Amino acid sequence: MSTTTARPTVRPTGYAVVRTGPAAFLLHRRSALVATVLGALLAAVCVLYLSVGESFVPPGEVLKVVLGHPSDHELVVGTLRLPRMTVGLLVGLAFGVAGALIQTVARNPLASPDIIGISQGATAVTVGGLAFGVSATVLPYFSIAGGLAAAALVYLFAWRGGLQAARFVLIGIGIGVALRSITLLFLTKTDHHIAQQAKIWMSGSVNGRGWEEATPLAWAMLALVPAVLWAARAQRTVSLDDDTATSLGVRLGRVRLGLVVTGVVLASVATGAAGPVDFVALLAPQIARRLTRTAQIPLLCSALTGAVVVVSADLLARKLLAPTELPVGVLTAALGAPYLIWLLMRGRTTGGNA
């Protein structure tokens, strides 16, 4: 009788509780493992990216340059390849998180900034800017404004005393189509030289991008880190149905708006830097979720997956038809399209959960 038969207590399955002082955080063990593996993979892909090119640089020399040690390969690695890779990396991270947030709100794996009109809005306004001769330095701001405006339109039309996931996606697709036709209108009205320039931008390319794009993008993303940390927590309840979440004291309308705005800003700044790199925001969160097997879309792992996808796709884009360089968006689209078809064939497009 004296044996202690303390009843085992129940914790959320698969989570570890991390305590620091009065604070306590839930850490999903498998997600932490997946994030570590993805981080290592990303590092490896980045080193490979910096090594491979017209001339091969040994990984040891690459690390020297990245760590700021003097090296003979400073020019090739540090000046030519590193800035472009950094843009790709940041764009991948941003699209990964943006897709995860928008899919969470829409509860639909089809919802991503490039499907529901946000990329199309950014494109329409940017191409319009190009057509009217706006200088390249302010064009990224045009993209951001375009993305936000498109998102506001979708929100406005989809809102009917609440936000219904299916309507949100369908209206987004409709607005995307309308915006695409506006882009085409600009393209046909402008002279062919500018149209050519616009078309490269539209296919999503980090070719020729450097620190001028990477630095503001990095600052914008850094500024959004608190919002993303908040979002990671909010996802736990937003992924429940509306009635249950409201009963748990969640202000759904506000929380959803916060998640969408964070996602749209991320997608828009990334589009501003590299154009609409198709399918990354759609693919990355779903790949990440399948890896972590979490009940909601894991943000950190989506970000890392997005970065791995963009950096490796750009590496392929540089090498595949060398010396001709493909825009990275062409490759991500080639990867993403079969996935999209598979997703549609599985019949989950109207499913209740992202």
Preceding amide of 323 cis, omega within 30: yes
Please say which residue, 123 or 286, places its beta carbon nearer to another protein: 286
Residue type, 99: G
Q: Are 273 and 327 in contact (CB under 8 A)?
A: no
**Stretch of 142-150, 230-238, 327-335, 336-344 contacting another protein, by CB under 8 A:** 230-238
Among residues 240, 257, 261, 335, which is the contact residue for another protein, using CB under 8 A? 240
Shortest distance, position 7 Cβ to another protein, whole Å = 7
String of DSSP letters for 150-188: HHHHHHHHHBSSSB-HHHHHHHHHHHHHHHHHHHHHHHH
Per-residue x/- track, 24-63, another protein (CB under 8 A)? xxx-------------------------------------
Among residues 36, 244, 337, 341, which is the contact residue for another protein, using CB under 8 A? 244
Please say which residue, 164 or 207, places its beta carbon nearer to another protein: 164
Q: Are 128 and 188 in contact (CB under 8 A)?
A: no
Site for another protein in 281-300 (CB under 8 A): 293-296
Q: CA separation (Å) from 123 to 47, 88, 106, 152?
A: 31, 18, 22, 15
Shortest distance, position 240 Cβ to another protein, whole Å = 7
Among residues 3, 4, 9, 137, which is the contact residue for another protein, using CB under 8 A? 9
Task: Tell which residue, 343, 332, 350, 253, has the closest CA to residue 88.
Answer: 332
Q: How far apart are CA 173 and CA 351, in angstroms?
A: 17
Shortest distance, position 303 Cβ to another protein, whole Å = 19
**9 DSSP 8-state letter:** P
Q: Does residue 159 interact with another protein by CB under 8 A?
A: no
Residue ranges binding another protein (CB under 8 A): 7, 9-15, 17, 22-26, 229-230, 233, 236-237, 239-241, 243-244, 246-251, 293-296, 351-353
